[in-house]
Chain A
Amino acid sequence: MSLYRTWRPKTFADLVGQDAVVRTLTSAIESGKLAHAYLFSGPRGSGKTSAAKILARCIECVNGPTATPDNTCENCVAILNGSSLDVLEIDAASYRGIDQIRDLRDGVKFAPSSMRMKVYIIDEAHMLTKEGANAFLKTLEEPPAHAVFILATTEPERLPVTILSRCQRYAFRRIAIPVMIERMREIASAENIGIDEEALAAIAYRADGGLRDALTMLEQASAFAGGGDVTAGTLDVAFGTTGRTFASALVDAIAARDAAGVLSTIESASDAGADMQVLIRSLIAAFRNLLVARIDPALLARDLAPEDARRAAERAKDVPAATIVRVLRLLVDAQSLARGGGHARLELESALLRFVLTQDDPSLDALAARIAALEAGGTPALPPRSHDVPPPPVADAPPEGAAPASAVAARENVAEERAEERKRESAPPAAGTLTLQKVRAAWQSIRGKVEGERASLAASLSRATVDALEDRSVVLRFPDKLNADMLRDHVALVERAVADVLGERLAVVLRVETVADTAEGAARPARRAKGAPPAAAFAAAPVRAAAPQDEDEEAENPDALFSYLNERISDR
């Protein structure tokens, strides 16, 4: 019999990783406050069915009801070997229809044959049909005094709320990696399975929160080792490599922006027979862990073995969060392309090359750094908006060679400052310090205020850009006369909103773009269009980038920003 069946926890003490559930159930039983319906929900392999079986024995044990069934009395034994007439385990995924529930309902009213209560364990309860679940409602609400229902499911959200509200709910958690390792170690030593720490950790990762997965793997690995010790190497041979080592090498190559290294690592992973889809997944997990480590290393405790958590935290220090997010986006895109039948290796290579080469480009880095500085309301002047003056960032770009490192460093610093800046900007700035940047930053809030009072102006406002701050008046520029005219009658409203948000009274001047500017302005709404004149895309960029509150996806998405910056450059 499988290890996970032999080692199904027989008492609450053996049920690991679910302290809250165990504590609540134990005290309920001890104080004699049994409910008539329980719902155990949680991910696979977290102990729902096991807990249900334990609870059944708690109720029926000859010495019970007790939180510590002896598992030796006739009742416990009958339940353990499944021969009890009074504890019924029902597979709701196969017996899910109204007729089966009717049968169940008809049986409930008869008193238990030999035990204290009748316990119904309804496993996979989310698969009950709508009719079946509804037919069950009355029974579940007011069952006879001798009936207890224990529903177990991985997807409680699929149960009707009328079922949920009739049950006491217990949420089971994913088993944390350290807990899982501990439990496996215990079982391995009891079963005389030799296994080293690294292998325990490797199994725990592969199990992904399910203890059942972990135990089946442990069992097979030990059978595979044929009495010898199980090592991480054994696991790679037995179950195929997860590419954890390759993933880790790739993270290094990516962080070092080493394009050739990325390609050669993927090549050797492929030669070693690593599944590229799995490799993409491992990479996503690795970068996710880095991101979490940057936010709060303590959060990794559940997901990683202590040693790996420490290493992740260490590495995360060198990789800026913005970089991690960008890699993650590219990887997730690659994953979705590969999943749709694409060539996983090709997608992975393409995504990583895109990332590595973008970072490699000094002028782009300089651009990004400038934009980040603008976002932070720093000193650099805005790129001119007219066509005849070339955008300064490229001209200002640091000399090649030295560029990448310094530019990246600059960007990191700025990125950190940005968060601070956001906090500051939420309060109205003091008079006298008002700059164009501040107005642009606040433009979204101003728009929001105006739209809140008069929704019909939303369309016109969306066409407006904050063009200048001249002599205590805000100049709004419109690509066409129509939208400017629409707003003309409501200038006072806009001025009031400006005053509310900025804390200063400013005049609002509406200006329609001149003919020379028209092309630029008109193309502005075509944000995502790759084919749009890049100049327009570029012109639009600083404004949106300068508005940190902007909920617009583009401003949030460094990728999109990069791609039009890119096009801008490659076209020039």
Chain B
Amino acid sequence: MSGDLTFDVIGAQGPRRFFQALTRDTIAHAYLFTGPGGTGKKTFARRLAQALLCRAPGAGTAGYDGTCDSCRLFSAGEDTRNPDFIEHTGVMKIGDPDKPLGFYEGDDLTSRDLVRNLSLQSYLGGMRVLLLGDVSFATPESANALLKILEEPPAGLVMLMTTSAPDRLLETIRSRAIDVRFPSLAPAEIREILIRRGFDEERAALGATLGGGSATRAMAALDEEEESLRSQVAAWFFSAAAGGDAPEQSWATRETLAEGLEIVKTLARDWVALGVAGEGVRLSAPDYGTQLRDLAPMESRAAVAMLASLDEAQRIARSNVPPSLVGEMVRMAITRVA
């Protein structure tokens, strides 16, 4: 029977092995999935929830059969209807203390609702799973309200939380959950994910390189708008680095400044890396490899000055400074080297 069980995730080998080694009895009550964005934390958590609730014999952490009552309630896609699976993505609020005890409906799940809800019994008689995706709390109150239930929860409850910024959670929350780190995805894994999402081979391969270990980032990089920004910034960068009359930095607008700076920095990093480590280095922007190699290698002090200016530009870009000014600063940083 257990041969029919599946657990459909790509990557995350470590977490997969980790949970496979556990059973419904040894699984702890709270886990915090951490790791860079776009490494499959939420997807993994949903599959794990489905597996834990699956009623097929042998199911559990091993996988789910996809045909039992419980799995059918986990209808395809993100939209699940299983009453023993509570999912909430994003910010949690504390909730109105005077609101009558009710059932969770819609998007306004609050910490108080949760505490009430979780003290109830399971509908289908098995376990209950709570998933807080990208968990973050609107107020310290809403986080603190969960502390006690996170420490000593009712039996049969598994709480899964995912975040890419564990530093932003309360220490007391993190200490009550087991940290499971999700590694960055390997390029091959990203390629597979992209192909499943309907990208063709070639673009999937490009996305895999640009993604830097994150499927979300890869998909963003393949986004048409993003791609045109990238080529625009790159063209500008090479013209500035060639020492010619650098054109206007039209990419430096309020909306695109942060992304633009990151693209410039990636190219600058590759330029410096080629200078210090030679051909052996793996480029972050391999698609511009030829152009990068054509650039004159720079002296180390010039490299330091450029990187320092770019760091400074990023910092300034976060404050309320006209984007064109930041763009100008970046232009100076690059042309000065050239």
Contact = CB atoms under 8 A, between A and B. Distances in A.
Contacts of A364: 301
Contacts of B262: 342-343, 346
A240 B14 contact: yes
A45 B175 CA distance: 7
B332 to A, nearest CB: 7
A275 B36 contact: yes
A34 interface: no
Contacts of B284: 346
Contact of B21 (A210, A225, A566): A225
A346 B178 CA distance: 28
B167 interface: yes
Interface stretch (A260-268, A291-299, A459-467): A260-268
A223 B22 contact: yes
A220 B28 contact: yes
Nearest to B111: A94
B145 A216 contact: no
A531 to B, nearest CB: 7
Interface in B265-279: 265-266, 268-269, 272-273, 276-278
Interface stretch (B46-54, B232-240, B303-311): B303-311
Contacts of A84: none
Contacts of A275: 34-36, 181-184
A333 interface: yes
A277 interface: yes
B277 A259 contact: yes
B334 to A, nearest CB: 12
Interface in A515-549: 530-531
B314 A570 contact: no
B14 A566 contact: no
A44 B175 contact: yes
Contacts of A339: 165, 167
A267 B266 contact: no
A240 B165 contact: no
B269 A260 contact: no
Contacts of A562: 304
A315 to B, nearest CB: 24
A570 B262 CA distance: 24
Given A45-B175, A94-B145, A97-B97, A223 B318 contact: no
Give the interface centre of A94, A213, A361 by most chain B CB atoms within 10 Å. Answer: A94
Nearest to B180: A239
Contacts of A238: 14, 17-18, 21, 180
Interface string A322-356: 00000000000100010111111110011101101
Contacts of B97: 97
Interface in A71-98: 91, 93-94, 96-97
Interface in B113-155: 115, 140-141, 144-148, 152
Given A94-B148, A566-B304, A226 B276 contact: no
A337 B26 CA distance: 39
Give the interface centre of B277, B281, B308 by most chain A CB atoms within 10 Å. Answer: B308
A273 B183 contact: yes
B158 to A, nearest CB: 12
Contact of B18 (A237, A273, A563, A567): A237
A210 B281 CA distance: 40
Interface size class on chain B is 35 or more
Contact of B171 (A43, A260, A563): A43
Interface string A255-294: 0000110011001001111111110000000000000000
B175 A217 contact: no
B282 A267 contact: yes
B112 interface: yes
Contacts of A94: 112, 115, 145, 148
B262 to A, nearest CB: 6
A93 B336 contact: no
Contact of A124 (B147, B302, B312, B336): B147
Contacts of B183: 240-241, 272-275
B289 interface: no
Contact of B312 (A223, A264, A530): A530
Contacts of A276: 36
Contacts of A219: 28
Given A127-B140, A212-B176, 20 more contacts: A2-B28, A93-B148, A217-B179, A223-B22, A240-B14, A240-B182, A260-B277, A263-B276, A263-B277, A264-B277, A273-B14, A273-B183, A275-B36, A337-B311, A349-B273, A353-B272, A356-B276, A358-B300, A566-B305, A570-B302
The 6 residue pairs across chains A and B that have the minimum distance between CB atoms? A273-B183, A240-B181, A260-B277, A93-B144, A259-B276, A357-B300
20 contacts: A93-B146, A93-B148, A124-B147, A124-B172, A126-B144, A216-B28, A220-B28, A223-B26, A224-B21, A238-B180, A241-B181, A259-B277, A264-B281, A267-B282, A275-B34, A275-B184, A333-B311, A346-B284, A357-B303, A563-B305
